Amino acid sequence: MAAPDVLAPALKQYPVIPILQRGAMAASKPYAASDKMNEALGFPGKLVDDWQAKAIGKMGELLGKYRSFKVYLDACVHCGACTDKCHYFLGTGDPKNMPVARQDLVRKVYRRYFTLAGKVFPKLVGAEDLTESVLDDWYKYFNQCSECRRCSVYCPYGIDTAEITMAAKEIMDSIGMGQKYTNEIIGKVHKLGNNLGLPGPALRNTLETMEEEVKEDTGLDVRFPVDEQGAEVLVVVPSADFFAEPHVYSLIGYAKVFHAAGIRWTFSSHASEAGNFGLFIGNYEQMRKIAVRVREAALELGVKRIVVGECGHAWRVAYSFWNTLIGPFDWLDARYPVPQHICELTYDLIRRGAIQFDREKNDHRVVTFHDSCNVARGSGMGGIPGGQFILPREIIRAACNHFHDMAPETIRQHTFCCGGGGGLLTDELLDLRVKGALPRMEALKQVVDAYGVNFMAAICAICKAQFSKVLPYYKFDMEMIGGVHQLVGDAIRLGRND
């Protein structure tokens, strides 16, 4: 494979702040999007001639549009609380991966062109021109931030550092410096309705195969319906759930839950994707366009509820932004959360006794739970404080006998990113991804050693794909990662409602 050299750092017994290695990741950058991919999203195909003026103009536009962006650029006092909170810094030692240093790549340009002191005495206030080398740093180091917002949790000023990364990406897109992985995928959603580029007939063929498989396994007609008019629930999932392992086991889990509870549900071939990479590139219009497909599908099918599957950033977009993007939802059933997470649906059924488990079916597993960043720090669940941490764990406990949490400073709102979020889940960044997974791997190692944990559950397709790939670099089995609804699917009692 023409993959880059990939080097996994050694797992330490306890986390240590690395010795600085200047420029350690200066060669890391993702492939550029082709002209065609950029233009399909309305961006310039390649770097425009007057890129400097255009970029500064775009920055000005964003400063005017998003008050938060300006506040975050002004508020930082360089206290350093964030420096050792980033998994990419901890895994690489590159000082530009300290969140404050990464933000300063934008902040110094902001100072130069938008503050009086920076215009008059640039050197005194750390202001710098937007030169080619600064732009080059932007492309490299904003593509080494997964927008996980762990550093924001520790910032005394509450600076949402991900918003700065998103702004930088939006500026770069506006001058023709799009990134291939994200922009190619967004183009596919606009065209075919999902990140994979799975056309309708392939989706139907895949779901028929799933029905056959589950029938062979259980003897039951568990359905995987698509485009079914009059269903009560529209389910939107990351398209990886149709395609990849271990994702597909959660898909089977969802279907079994609906089967056991007797709820009429459907996928949509028009909106066959929960993910929304518009968020990753900070582009409101792309985000809206992707979200609109879900609204169109729901109205077309006449559903009363919309349920989101195991996808971290999809849930953040749905929970935090759908109402503005595609609301109001007065046409949906107000007795249920709008939108509803699959964990909320399953948890509710468990509490009402509508589904039951044979927990011993998961007895070969000792389970831990990896909180995915966009769920942990960007959303809620169940209408209770911390519900996004409580519900998935309660579901696991209902379906499994053996559960152990990882160290408290690595879970819940303090959770470490898997290392592949924010539009970085691409092969040419594998070295970065492996290194960025280090803090999570160290926390995992502790519970593996202490309790014999052999399964890490997550509710995010990126986390699942990322861990499948990087676990072997740390001498763990790639099958250790799976979904919460994989555990549900393996232990749920079926046999009713046929």
Partner 1 sequence: MAIEVGGKTYETDEEGYLVNLADWTEELGGEIAKSENVEMSPNHWEVVNFLREYYNEYQIAPAVRVLTKAIGKKLGADKGNSKYLYELFPYGPAKQACKIAGLPKPTGCV
3-class DSSP assignment, residue 198: coil
275 binds partner 1 (CB under 8 A): yes
248 binds partner 1 (CB under 8 A): yes
271 binds partner 1 (CB under 8 A): no
Distance CA 154, CA 83 (A): 10
Site string for partner 1, 218-247 (x = CB under 8 A): --------------------xxx-xxxx-x
Q: Which is nearer to partner 1, 194 or 268 (CB)?
A: 194
Site string for partner 1, 416-445 (x = CB under 8 A): ---------x-xx-----------------
Pair 240, 205: CB distance under 8 Å: no
389 binds partner 1 (CB under 8 A): no
Q: Helix H segments across 23-96?
A: 35-40, 51-65, 67-75, 87-92
Q: Which is nearer to partner 1, 447 or 471 (CB)?
A: 471
In the beta sheet, which residues pair with residue 179? 32
Q: Helix H segments across 66-122?
A: 67-75, 87-92, 99-114, 116-120
Q: Which positions ≥6 away from 26 have C-beta within 8 Å?
A: 94, 96, 140
Shortest distance (Å) from residue 214 CB to partner 1: 10
Q: Which stretch binds partner 1 (CB under 8 A): 161-169, 201-209, 390-398, 401-409?
A: 201-209
Q: What is the DSSP string of 439-456?
A: HHHHHHHHHHHHH---EE
286 binds partner 1 (CB under 8 A): no
Q: Which positions ≥6 away from 33 have C-beta within 8 Å?
A: 178, 179, 180, 182, 183, 184
CA distances, 283 to each of 37, 42, 178, 290, 433 (Å): 15, 11, 12, 11, 24
475 binds partner 1 (CB under 8 A): no
Q: Which of residues 292-311 bind partner 1 (CB under 8 A)?
A: 311
Assess whether the previous peptide bond of 392 is cis (omega < 30° from 0). no
318 binds partner 1 (CB under 8 A): no
Distance CA 226, CA 221 (A): 15
184 binds partner 1 (CB under 8 A): yes
Shortest distance (Å) from residue 216 CB to partner 1: 10
Q: Which is nearer to partner 1, 129 or 208 (CB)?
A: 208
Tokens of 363: 């007895």
Task: Tell me the HSE value of 19 on the side-chain side, using a 13 A CA sphere.
Answer: 0
Site string for partner 1, 453-472 (x = CB under 8 A): --------xx-xx---x---
210 binds partner 1 (CB under 8 A): yes
Shortest distance (Å) from residue 458 CB to partner 1: 11
481-483, strands of its sheet edge to edge? 367-369, 455-458, 481-483
2 binds partner 1 (CB under 8 A): yes
Q: Which is nearer to partner 1, 105 or 189 (CB)?
A: 189
Q: Which is nearer to partner 1, 186 or 332 (CB)?
A: 186
Residues near partner 1 (CB under 8 A) are 1-3, 31, 181, 184-185, 188, 194-199, 201-202, 205-206, 209-210, 212-213, 238-240, 242-245, 247-248, 275, 311, 425, 427-428, 461-462, 464-465, 469
